[in-house]
Structure 1
């Protein structure tokens, strides 16, 4: 790799990815919907804390750009500065409007592509990619594979345990699948467990019980690094007065506002078990006499305008309050700001109350730390993170949140033992600071990154891989050379060796790719037999597949793109009526390619075949080459389309691509804005291209013809580099 791609210093660049929810640097709208909660706080605090560490040079938090009149204009801001070394980067993904996370899956490839453009523009690749939740995990995994950068993943919550708990609570499998898209989510989580270099969790229980529900998790990949709490904001009431505004927002609901407060702060979603909490309170008269219940369940103006699932939870909540006749005993403030959250904790602590997290399942439980730091004891689910938190902080009790009677009894017990309450309050303040700070989290985090990168470099040396840090150089390369194999790259040993020497001389600056009708396995075999370096990009099966490098990383975005209108089985059946065709061997048949051998005396014209398919409502691209082969591909698939897709995906102009070929299935990649080279031994089906703009017909054959074309275009030489820079300056 050239010196221009070397890092200027040893400071790390971390790319954080958190796709869903409403994320901004200040005044987080926590509880605005089911997707804007603890994870948003976590990633923002992590980004800011990382930026404070001396070994971190840059932190980007990648999320979704939203243009929706229903939300703040700030979410449409492409870049938001968090600090000198940290910022939020927003990319469009799918419709402009806000979408819940379950609806984002079909659009995530757009973020992958836009991130590649962004990295090319800034001229530096991250050292690690850290994804948060399964949707960002998909984006991170694609980027990790494409770029050769290690991925760190934090699940925040996992599909399998959540699915199991919802089923245990009586929900129907079909209903929850429709709402939560568990099949796609769990499949991605399984893939992440196998791919991610590190999986950061908050508790040991999360590793053993929750990830233990998945297929063969590797214990060596897990690191337990609990998140921190901002103890400058979350303080006990004796160190900061409670806001009168917050007290008023609660007090006007209550008949006797001087009673202790049972406080719950959560988003209005089924998993949070607000229904079970109200039942626990409503069925326990002693608890009602002892304390008020305050439910801070997001913000709302009109329940009827909320997301359907949120509206259902809040409507059910109000009906239950009415059923149990709890008016005057329960407060449900309509709105609150992010800065009000510590005030709610302090208000409850001042009243000698208790905080309750009644969720069915809780991977960590950040609110338990926030409450503890404010001197407020807690009751929490006997599941997931709360077990570890209470074992460290000793500031409350665990309860089976599937049992509403147990919730009520535990709350009453916690509120009636005053000496124990005071012990819990003091213990929470001390132990949150001792065990859960962001500075401590980041110190462990950076140490793990350093160890990870050290192991990666060691493995690369063992494998004798010479690429800089194992990263792909595609995002930073300035030119691309794509060639057919048979009768173009191969065919003359001396020319082939001269071209290989050119490739080695230009490694790092120029992307090397092949575009062939061969399937992937055959392509790899023939390249190895002829001692051709493994290309950066492999376009195989006549452009219907794209893979990258030695590890043959598939381009999932390309497969999703060309799947449009492709009905393989129906096309096969329709082609049975066309004479003069015989299917090629099984190894030449692919998901997106049907290949035939042709009897030229019997086969009708290509136009006839195309019309035959169209009459049956079928769409396929018909490619005839060398007078003996016929390939049918999806309408979006071909060598030419694949090269244009690569240009878009990696942000490299088509004018910077040099392509070479010899036959009819190369036509699409030879025409247009590329620098095209037709080798001297070309077949007659290319003769009509002579005289076309930007298509050079070489006199030399095979690889010598490619080298002749490169000299014609001054491709890969210092002169070409200067000429390219001059063109860029002119365009600006």
Structure 2
């Protein structure tokens, strides 16, 4: 199978990634928790709208598979069809149970690996990857670097502005860090800003003020593409009566349900500022006399069963209602269905009420568009997206949501001027259709994607040094060839030329990789010096590092995997107590490798070194080679472990790997289910492997020995 090279006339394949929350094709459980809100609606609507575009052939929305009896079984389905061209794909990531997004960070590499497996099975790579929020951004960035596919990113909300607003509201820095994991999130947002080929925002203000808080944000890569509203669902009140059950769920709380509604729909989280809204309403009797307050703050069975932060918000809400004595004036329904949301907007519009978004910060504000489409005027934060939305739709007022008195004044003003209310209502309906449709969003999106891909193809034509052009060959290759460098790949000039000819003839069908004790920089330097093409995979520093291709993309999943039990400083101290060991030069020391030159007459046997480390509670892989080098690695790191990791990560059977080596540090790599080749000039350290299954000892030396081994195994041919 060759790497597909998409022609401009082919339809686009878009991979959307949104990791957290509860995402399904029908009846979204919006507000059920802090992670299931506007972003879930956005990515689902985007997937469906993209699938309807004639230039888009396939849309996959990748999210987390959740096998938890506490949530619907829908979220445990590996695949859900949305339309003929769109589907939701779910992969396990972390615990089976549903967890909040801040706890997902340690598990995201699983999502990366499972997506790689999935793409191999598909036989086609996406044209673009589009990640949503920082956690999916991490997954998308890894996939983008590994596969050579452009990354588009949408932040939805950003860590730095949110952190700043929470601090300004009086929250303690240590407490918000513990709850929101801002350090990890902001670090990933910084990395995304540097890597993404295109960053989609909803407003210009988001680019200038929110992303402007991050260093080196290149504004040329930002594209402002306003999201759409489904006007088939969100429309003004008609003659049809409101659903009786929904009306009853609101009216049962209220002494006078005929008064106008102040409607708030949001998740029960601190940044939504429900507490500030309630203070505004509770502190102003004139506002209480004028209107009822309807708070639709997620869905719940019992508050005590909710996640801690949500339960705290709702408990404080009930305490504040009691403190202000607002019983009979405030409605707080326990649950609502997705189809109830448009009806709630229409109910509020029919009562001549208003919708309020009182959040501390609002990157966009999808609810403001939904309200506008239903003819319901709004009060919104003077921050982020609402500024652009109200400038286009002219259907309400902006307010400083940190000031409860200002919120109350804006609400009262909106409710008392009837002529302006009607003007706002009509303007909202008209301008949503003019400025915010999904068809318009996707038309601009597809134009930007085509421009991005044309630019990428142009840049790739300039890069002639690589064996292949375009996307990485790894996901679609059938076989992998991994070789040591010194005295195996190199050492015979004619053999090198013959092997390079074989590599060029088999581009795309076979992965080319090296596994060496050299550090990355030294490996690349010696390959270039000998006119060897830069490999697809570089396993360096005796298997403690994995990088990919010309860009030297690091495999972060491998680094996270081998970090287990690794205590570098303690190992250095313990090994300093042993005779016959001298540290190699600084360039040979790495984060996950400690390297020594040894005096074999003084150095203790490897078995004794291992016992010495274990007595001190230390764990390490000890590799002794050529009678003069000793490498100390994490217990999970070695050339052999790295190859097995690649087999798992890229879903390529070990039996399809041909590996070649010549010395003791190749032993683990040569043993097992691979097609192993020992070149004719091997050291005595490998002599004991003769006669073992799947280990071929070539008569020819160096690269000619590798080619002899390839012929023996019929490697890379249809019969291999």
TM-score by length of 1: 0.97
SS at match of 1:118: helix
Residues 578-727 of structure 1: pairs in structure 2 closer than 5 A: 578-717=578-717, 721=718, 723-724=719-720
Deviations 1:458-477 (A, max 9, x none): 11112236677621010000
Match in the other structure for 1:58? 58
Alpha-carbon distance in structure 2 between the residues aligned to 1:61 and 1:7: 23
Deviations 1:203-234 (A, max 9, x none): 01100000000011001000000100000000
Matches of 1:358 and 1:460, distance apart in 2: 48
Could you give the per-residue CA deviations for residues 677-717 of structure 1, whole angstroms, max 9, x where no partner exists? 00000000100000000000000010010000000000123
SS of 1:512's partner is strand
- The SS at the match of 2:512 is strand
**Paired residue for 1:729?**
none
Q: How much has 1:243 moved relative to structure 2?
A: 1.9
Alignment partners' CA distance in 2, 1:335 and 1:348: 17
State how far apart, in whole Å, the 2-side matches of 1:410 and 1:502 are. Answer: 74
Aligned position for 1:561: 561
Q: Deviation digits for residues 503-531 of structure 1, max 9, x if unmatched?
A: 00011100000000000010010000000
User: Where does residue 72 of structure 2 map in the other structure?
Assistant: 72
CA distance in 2 between counterparts of 1:604 and 1:684 reads: 20
Gaps of 5+ in 2: none
SS of aligned partner of 2:339 = helix
- Which runs of 5 or more residues in structure 1 are unaligned? 725-732
The whole-number CA distance in structure 2 between the counterparts of 1:3 and 1:554 is 22
The corresponding residue for 1:92 is 92
Distance in 2 (alpha carbons) for counterparts of 1:469 and 1:478: 18
Asked whether 1:260 is paired with 2:260, we answer: yes
What is the alpha-carbon distance in structure 2 between the residues aligned to residue 269 and residue 22 of structure 1?
17
1:3 Cα shift? 7.4
Counterpart of 1:343 in structure 2 is 343
**Deviation digits for residues 305-337 of structure 1, max 9, x if unmatched?**
011110000000000000000000000011100
Which residue pairs with 1:727 in the alignment? none
Alignment of 1:321-360 (within 5 A): 321-360=321-360
Deviates more, 1:131-140 or 1:597-606: 597-606
Match of 1:495 in 2: 495
Counterpart mapping for 1:288-687 below 5 A: 288-464=288-464, 470-687=470-687
**Alignment partners' CA distance in 2, 1:550 and 1:265:** 50
User: Cα distance, 1:245 vs. partner?
Assistant: 1.7
Q: In the alignment, which residue of structure 2 is the partner of 1:31?
A: 31
In structure 2, C-alpha distance between the alignment counterparts of 1:291 and 1:660, rounded to whole Å: 79
Q: Conserved in 1, the CA contact under 8 Å of 2:266 and 2:296?
A: yes
* Equivalence map 1:120-139=2 (5 Å): 120-139=120-139
8 Å contact kept, 2:47–2:60 = yes
Distance 2:566 2:3 in 1: 45
Answer whether contact 1:5 1:124 (CA < 8 A) is retained. no
Listed one character per residue, the Cα deviations across residues 10-39 of structure 1 (whole Å, up to 9, x for unaligned) are: 100000000000000000000010000000
Aligned to 1:208: 208
Q: CA deviation at 1:398?
A: 0.2
Q: Deviations over 1:142-176 (max 9, x none)?
A: 00000000000000000000000000000000000
Q: For 2:398 and 2:99, locate their aligned partners in 1 and report how far apart those are by CA, in whole Å.
A: 35
1:287–1:408 contact (8 Å) kept in structure 2: yes
Contact 2:255 2:329 in 1 (8 A): yes
Alignment partner of 2:153: what SS?
strand
| Separation in 1, partners of 2:134, 2:6 | 32
Alpha-carbon distance in 1 for matches of 2:66, 2:368:
31
Distance (Å, rounded) in 2 between the aligned partners of 1:639 and 1:259? 73
Deviations 1:63-119, CA, capped at 9 Å, x for gaps: 000010100001000000000000000000011000100000000000000000000
Q: Distance in 2 between matches of 1:294 and 1:600?
A: 80
- In the TM superposition, residue 241 of structure 1 has moved relative to its aligned partner by 3.6
CA-atom RMSD in angstroms: 1.1
Alpha-carbon offset, residue 627 of structure 1: 0.7
CA displacement, residues 523-560 of structure 1 (integer Å, 9 cap, x when unaligned): 01000000000000000000000000001000000000
Deviation at 1:577, TM superposition (A): 1.2
Q: Structure 1 240/385 Cα, relative in aligned 2: closer, same or farther at 3 Å? A: farther
For the residue of structure 2 that corresponds to 1:601, the secondary structure is: coil
Residue equivalent to 1:46? 46
Contact 2:134 2:188 in 1 (8 A): yes
What SS is found at the alignment partner of 2:69? coil
Q: Is the 8 A contact 1:123 1:476 kept in 2?
A: yes
Distance in 2, Cα, partners of 1:449 & 1:13: 11
Q: Secondary structure at the match of 1:125?
A: coil
In 2, Cα distance between the equivalents of 1:439 and 1:190? 31
Deviations 1:424-462 (A, max 9, x none): 000000000110000000000000000000011111112
- Relative to structure 1, is the Cα distance of residues 494 and 564 closer, same or farther in structure 2, using a 3 angstrom cutoff? same
* 8 A contact 2:4–2:124 mirrored in 1: no
Contact 2:5–2:470 (8 Å) recurs in 1: no
TM-score by length of 2: 0.99
Q: Within the alignment, does 1:110 sit opposite 2:113 as a pair?
A: no
